[in-house]
Structures are given as structure tokens and as C-alpha cells.
Amino acid sequence: MTMERYIRRIAGTFVIISLALGIWVNEWWFLFTAFVGLNLIQSTFTGWCLMEDILRKFGVKDTR
């Protein structure tokens, strides 16, 4: 699997899990959902994504 697919899968998983936690545990978990969304938006402007750096350290192939 490529870097882009990993990032999409991880971001989607984080959003679903944090939404579920926000509904069933505590609404403060919605801030994590917002963090994931904001990180995705900032990466489109800056070209930098923390998850990319983490995945690179684990040896995931870069698509660039």
C-alpha cells in the first residue's frame, strides 16, 4: 500500500473512532476530530504532514 492510501485510511479511522467516542464517552473527543480535519487542511497548504513522517520511519513507500 502507498503512503497516500495509508494516510487516508488512518485519517478516516481516527475520525470515525473520535466521533464514536464523542457520542458515547465524552463530547471533548470531538476536538480530536477537528484536529484531524485541520491537520488535513494545513497539509494541503504546507505540503507537510506529521503522519507522513511517522509512516516514512516505518518504511512505507512514498508516492512522490
pLDDT in tens, 1-37: 889 999 999 999 999 999 999 999 999 999 999 999 9
- The H-assigned helical ranges of 1-64 are 3-24, 30-46, 50-57
Residue-level pLDDT at 26? 97
Residue 62 lies inside a defined structural domain of this protein: no
Q: How many domains does the chain have?
A: 1
Whole-model pTM?
0.86
Residue 27 lies inside a defined structural domain of this protein: yes
Domain that holds residue 34: 3-57
Residue-level pLDDT at 64? 65
> Could you tell me the maximum CA-CA distance found in the chain, to the nearest angstrom?
39
Q: Are 33 and 22 in contact (CB under 8 A)?
A: yes
pLDDT tens, residue by residue, 10-20: 999 999 999 99
The yes-or-no verdict on residue 59 having pLDDT over 80 is: yes
